[in-house]
Amino acid sequence: MAAHKKKTMPNWSEVKAKLISYNRAGLIRLVSDLHSLSRDNQAFLHARLGLGTDPLAPYKATISRWIYPDLHRGQAVSVAKAKKAIADYRKAIGLPDGVAELSIFYCERAAQLTTECSFEDEGYFTALVRMFDQALSVVATLDPSVRPTLLQRLDAVRSISGAVGWGVKDAMDELWIEHVWED
């Protein structure tokens, strides 16, 4: 008896081959169905198509929910889900100024949680420092006219992180010197 091969998930080539047979109305119905399926899909389509007044708003809401949850109501922290919001924005449109804004927002909310709620978690702190590094890297690619305001926000994060301990401020200071400090 021959062994049965397990069917794997269809790949992009197979999906693309099926989509070629769709007419315009069929494609619009498909996108409509995807739009109504989830908020993530809506955020993606709105950002990609330049719809709405603030395409970053749904991504910021997701970051805020997962990086600064309501601990008193038992909401969990999820660094992965907060970082996924930034990755999803990158896939949707990925404009460097938007990535910088979301990265800085993540740092601000994370620093706020650690100082206001005395939240202590080594993995959370490590993720904060990594995001701080990412934010500095992205800001460095932006037009020099917008950098000062963004760097002020990151410097404020660095400043309030002194109350955290765990070497967070020291790590941020090293990154600041590496990315920003000019002799």
pLDDT tens-digit series, residues 141-166: 999 999 999 999 999 999 988 777 67
Q: 149 with 135: CB under 8 angstroms?
A: no
Q: Between vectors from CA 64 to CA 59 and to CA 66, what angle results, nearest 5°?
A: 100
Would the pLDDT of 183 be above 60? no
Q: Lowest-pLDDT range, 19-28, 66-75, 131-140? A: 19-28
- Domain coordinates in residue numbering, the chain: 56-179
Q: What is the mean pLDDT of the chain?
A: 86
Among candidate residues 143, 36, 52, the one with its CA nearest the CA of residue 95? 143
Q: How many CB atoms lie within 10 A of CB 172?
A: 25
> What is the tens place of the pLDDT at every residue in 80-93?
999 999 999 999 88
pTM value surpassing 0.85: no
3-state secondary structure of 145: coil
Q: What secondary structure letter does DSSP report for 3?
A: P
3-state secondary structure of 148: helix
Contacts of 60 (CB under 8 A, 6+ apart): 85, 102, 105
Exposed e or buried b per residue across 73-100, where buried means at least 16 C-beta atoms within 10 angstroms of its C-beta: eeeebebeebbbbbebbeebbeeeebbb
